[in-house]
Amino acid sequence: MTKSRSNGADNDQTNELQQADDVSLLRDAYLKLQQRHTALFKLNQLSQECAELSSFYAQVHQVIKSIMIAENFYIVMYDQTLQTLEFVYHQDEEDDAPQGLIPFTSFRGSMTSYVIESRNALLATPTMINEMVADGVLNNIGAAGMDWLGVPLIHDGFVIGVMVVQSYNEHTRYSEQDKELLIYTAQHVVSALLRLQDTEQLQRAVTSRTTELMEQIREREKAELLQESLYRISELTNRVGVEIDDFYAQVHNIIGQLINAENFFIAKYESESDTIDFAYYVDQNSRNTAEDFLPQKSSDLFTALVVRRKETCLLSYDDMYELYRQGETKKPQKETNSWLGVPLIADDEVIGVLVVQSYQDGIVFQQQDAELLNFVSHHVTTALKRRENAEYERRSHEMLERQVKLRTVALEEEIRQRKQVEKMLKHSASHDALTSLPNRTVFLDLLNRAIAALKRRPEKEFAVLFLDLDRFKMVNDSLGHYAGDILLKTVAKELKVIVRASDTVARIGGDEFVILIEDIDNKKEVYEIAQRITSALAQPFTIEGQSVFIGTSVGLLFSDRRYDSAETMLRDADTAMYHAKDGGKGRYEEFDASMHQKIEEELALETDIRKAIEESEFTPYFQPIVKLRDKSIIGFEALARWHNDKRGLVMPNDFIPLAEETGLVVDIDLQILRKSCRQLKAWQKSGLCHKHYVSCNLFGNHFYSPTLPDEISTILAEEGLEPHHLRIELTERILLEENDLVLANMKALKQLGIKLLLDDFGTGYSSLSYLHRLPLDVVKIDRSFITDAHKRSSNRAIIKTIVDLATNLQMATVSEGIECIEEAQLLNSMGCMFGQGYYFAKPMPSDALAELLKNPIS
């Protein structure tokens, strides 16, 4: 009995100890769970409160340290596209972190790369590390340590980085529980990290855009002042009643607004007598008298130096003294601090010199002053040479001045709008900045809710209307972006008036609007709304004092339980809209399943285009470019044609729009360019032509590629064609964004010896501000101005203005679309030297053009 009681007491004591252990385990588990929740709460707090990523990483480290031993800790980000690593945070008692972006290949064989490539967490003990090294899995492990624990940071199924803790002593070891905890924590680090990255990216975009806008404003102000000055000089030429002395004084006044011209003179040069006549002068040096500005032989004057060199001379006093020492000029006056002279050149002969000089130490002319005065000198030269024809010039310049004033008004409004950009950026992200309508994101959210409501309550029927303005681009191009914005805002107000108060009108981009009509009783009321919209937008709108007609095409889609997403419904409504547009515009069309047929046809066409590119089916047709004076052929424009076994001969209008939309036109252009170069070289070898050139069109996206000059240079080298036999045509639209890469590519092509042509000039933006700054050689006058020009005085005035402008900028002109002898004769009489069109020859295949070269145009 005594032993039995003793055994019972022992069992009770064992049970009590077991219960105590269970309580301890539960307490430990609870504490770990509490630590985990505290850590996650801190991580979520960090994404909301942390101001920048650098401090975020350090605070993440502190959170990790609160749940495990993590004295040695780092986060490395991985860019899969660029194949680079970046140690964004690193705390380690043994290793130093590499700085900046590191090629991923340099870390191959490391435990970090193992985690990235395997996409799995790794808890590596010394034994495991030795085994992995022996198996060839690792060969780049850094400083020797104890345990290494790394987990991948994964977003959308892709590894974007690695988070690591490691130990260098046996007192700090990591367990599978630590690995699971770090994996769990990593998921929340990724979420917080991405939110912070999005915030920083938005802040950088706002800062960058604001800086860019301010720089554009300053550049535009400079361009406006330069344009205003040039046209004031041009205006002087047209004012017949202005005395010559007053003319010179006004030129001085205009130049003085651009650079410091307190000491200024205009000298005219007579080559036969080698005499310089100081036609106008203003000088503050008391040592100079009227006798110093009397007509005299050029001899050793500094003005004569400009005449002899036929180039701008920018001289300091030391430069002037060195010229005197070398015997080229007379001794300079000690008071002269800086001297700038530019030649006035007409027909390759110097007819005079413009000079500004400074007697003050604080005023020194720079190279940019020389460039500016040199540019102005061309206009002064033109003014001096053409005063006898002032009446005609007056009419031309008045028209140009009106264009400048219209553009100035547009620029002033654009500047005003851009000053409001910062304020507009703060506007709710849910609304379109221009019209204050809900934007695409909000509309899709509302439409998804309507889809979900329909599944719960079938009676909650709704409809979607997709609108596209039929002639918005025409208004935008002809009246300017400001007028286009006014039109969009007017249309937005009109739509809100037409629909019911419960309906939603949104702008999803460009000239596209969508309307969500909910709680409809029958389809008739939706048809009525669509009809009211098409009728209202068919009426003229008054924009900037002008009546404009736009019209709209509407795609109509009713709710259906088969739809699961707003994007799908929007796609089908968009398809219906395009059917309405194809059916004649200004109407609405209800979506039906047959409309997918057109989409399938476009997809089939895209497939055929891709195959045609691979099989080199695109071929150039050539249209001759002739001298208008004698109809002699000087070159050819290469135009793309497509010969397809299934489709036959496909004309550009049938495949170029889709090729441009898909970006395939880039490959087509290069294929046409290569074949054109090859054909021209073949003609040269056969003796059919020697000095002729081929002109190829390039889509605007080419000029955003930094490899464009190398690609064209390679084609020329492989086909054996000299660069001066190739010309590249580009449209105005690519020039409007003033992209540095576009300008660099243009200059690189010029350096190769390739001439650049501005195609379809006059139909688009036609800004004078870029025409004189870009390395262009030829302006092609659009066919819309050529047609019936002999019958329309307005067309003739525009053509004459373009020809004069190109001549002043030392550019050639080519007229497109000449279809009759009257047009050809008129253009020749107006100074346009070159032309092309059906009157001379249609685009033709290479064999037909070879026959034409054997039997030239008569």
DSSP secondary structure letter of residue 97: P
Q: H-helix or E-strand containing 266?
A: strand 264-270
What is the pLDDT, as a whole number, of residue 734?
Answer: 73
Verify that 36 and 135 share a domain, yes or no: yes
Quick check: is 125 in a domain?
Answer: yes
* Between 384 and 66, the higher pLDDT residue: 66
Verify that 364 and 270 share a domain, yes or no: yes
Quick check: is 251 in a domain?
Answer: yes
| Amino acid identity at 655 | F
Residue 300 has pLDDT above 60, yes or no: yes
DSSP secondary structure letter of residue 839: T
Mean pLDDT on 676-698: 94
Specify the CATH number for the domain of residue 693. Answer: 3.20.20.450
Tens of pLDDT, residues 575-604: 888 888 877 778 898 888 777 677 777 788
Verify that 264 and 188 share a domain, yes or no: no
Cα(746)–Cα(738) distance, integer angstroms: 12
What is the pLDDT, as a whole number, of residue 609?
Answer: 92
Residue 845 has pLDDT above 80, yes or no: yes
What is the pLDDT, as a whole number, of residue 448?
Answer: 92
The total number of residues written for the chain in this structure? 858
Specify the CATH number for the domain of residue 102. Answer: 3.30.450.40
Verify that 356 and 447 share a domain, yes or no: no
Tens of pLDDT, residues 745-769: 999 999 999 999 998 776 654 555 5
Residue 178 has pLDDT above 60, yes or no: yes
265: which strand partners? 281, 355
Lowest mean pLDDT among 13-22, 134-143, 551-560, 823-832: 13-22
Residue 287 has pLDDT above 60, yes or no: yes
What is the pLDDT, as a whole number, of residue 616?
Answer: 93
Verify that 151 and 241 share a domain, yes or no: no
Q: Domains in the chain: how many in total?
A: 4
Q: Which of 521, 584, 592 is nearest to 556 (CA)?
A: 592
Quick check: is 111 in a domain?
Answer: yes
Quick check: is 800 in a domain?
Answer: yes
Verify that 261 and 391 share a domain, yes or no: yes
Verify that 177 and 253 share a domain, yes or no: no
Cα(141)–Cα(119) distance, integer angstroms: 18
Quick check: is 213 in a domain?
Answer: no
Quick check: is 91 in a domain?
Answer: yes
Tens of pLDDT, residues 417-468: 877 766 656 556 788 889 989 998 999 999 999 999 998 888 889 999 999 9
Q: Which of 428, 521, 526, 511 is nearest to 471 (CA)?
A: 511
Domain boundary (185, 201, 217) is at 201
Verify that 742 and 799 share a domain, yes or no: yes
Mean pLDDT on 4-10: 56
Verify that 848 and 776 share a domain, yes or no: yes
Specify the CATH number for the domain of residue 469. Answer: 3.30.70.270
Average pLDDT, the chain: 84
Backbone angles phi, psi at 461, to 5 degrees: -75, 155
Q: Which of 475, 461, 437 is nearest to 558 (CA)?
A: 461
Verify that 337 and 463 share a domain, yes or no: no
User: 504-507: which pairs have CB atoms within 8 A and are 24 or more residues apart?
Assistant: 504/438, 504/443, 504/446, 505/437, 505/438, 506/432, 506/437, 506/438, 506/439, 506/440, 506/442, 506/443, 507/432, 507/434, 507/435, 507/437, 507/438, 507/439
Lowest mean pLDDT among 505-514, 783-792, 832-841: 783-792
* Between 467 and 254, the higher pLDDT residue: 467
Residue 626 has pLDDT above 50, yes or no: yes
Lowest mean pLDDT among 168-172, 333-337, 514-518, 735-739: 735-739
* DSSP letters for 551-563: -EEEEEEE--TT-
| Amino acid identity at 116 | I
What is the pLDDT, as a whole number, of residue 668?
Answer: 95
| Amino acid identity at 292 | D
Q: Are 313 and 230 in contact (CB under 8 A)?
A: no
Instruction: Residue 77: give the domain boundaries.
Output: 27-201
Non-local (6+) Cβ contacts of 479 within 8 A are: 543, 544, 546, 548
* Between 727 and 211, the higher pLDDT residue: 727
Q: Are 354 and 377 in contact (CB under 8 A)?
A: yes
What is the pLDDT, as a whole number, of residue 391?
Answer: 46
Tens of pLDDT, residues 727-740: 999 987 777 656 78
Domain boundary (362, 395, 428) is at 395
Greatest mean pLDDT among 180-189, 279-288, 703-712 lies in 703-712
Verify that 341 and 267 share a domain, yes or no: yes
Cα(778)–Cα(807) distance, integer angstroms: 10
Domain boundary (341, 373, 395) is at 395
**Three-class secondary structure assignment of 392-454:** HHHHHHHHHHHHHHHHHHHHHHHHHHHHCHHHHHCCCCCECCCCCCECHHHHHHHHHHHHHHH
In the chain, what are the helix, strand and coil shares in percent, each to the nearest 5? 50, 20, 30
Q: Which of 374, 329, 331 is nearest to 354 (CA)?
A: 374
Cα(792)–Cα(771) distance, integer angstroms: 26
Lowest mean pLDDT among 10-14, 90-94, 650-654: 10-14
Verify that 578 and 624 share a domain, yes or no: no
Q: Are 823 and 789 in contact (CB under 8 A)?
A: yes
Quick check: is 401 in a domain?
Answer: no
Burial class of residue 437 (count of CB atoms within 10 Å of its CB; 0-12, 13-18, 19+): buried
Cα(705)–Cα(765) distance, integer angstroms: 23
Quick check: is 696 in a domain?
Answer: yes
| Amino acid identity at 133 | V
β-bridge pairing 618-627 and 552-558: unpaired
